[in-house]
Amino acid sequence: MDSLYTRYANALLSIAIDEDKVDYYRIEIKNIRTAFLSDNGIINLLSSAFIDFNDKEEIINNIYKGNDNVLNFMKIIVRNRRANVMIKIFNEFIKKCNETLNIKDGYVYSVRKLTEEEIEKIEDGISEKLASRVELENIIDEKLIGGVKVLVEDKIFDGSIKTKIEKLKESLIKGGA
């Protein structure tokens, strides 16, 4: 049985496939999701029963100036009183696009913010290992001493100094016994 999120996601994915712009739509929705997540007030406004739909439509028109299909997609979600689950719909859409395009999203944990070049180099290496295009989001982890740790789906690629030290410690303990 299809979930509500899946039905909305499939509708927009169908348009994206018809237009041969799946990656474009994926990026648009990811950017909108990021903006909405950074300001919870937007979802609260669009979900409010006290704000008229025309006012909500105006809010959407002011927030997003891109693709008409994406704009209409958001308006339909709001018109159908689903704004409170818009992020979940966006997540489902991105997941479906990733499946269509053989993309795996993941995270690269580091002590400092990595440059785009560093992230791309790591993405290329992991993409080769997983035989999929990998896109990583950099997350600062102050618990790391140095190096990086990458998480893609259920796989961990740990090149952190902390893990290397722990492995060396275990090796020394085993060798010393």
Q: Domains along the chain?
A: 4-99 (1.10.520.20), 103-176 (3.40.30)
How far is CA 89 from each of CA 8, 72, 85, 94, 95, rounded to the nearest angstrom?
7, 14, 6, 9, 10
Residue 23 banded pLDDT, cuts 50, 70, 90: very high
Does pLDDT of 1 surpass 60?
A: no
Report pTM: 0.80
Percent of the chain with pLDDT over 90: 75
How far is the C-alpha of 143 from the C-alpha of 162, rounded, in Å?
Answer: 9
- Which residue is it, tokens 């739509």? 25
- Span 52-61, mean pLDDT? 93
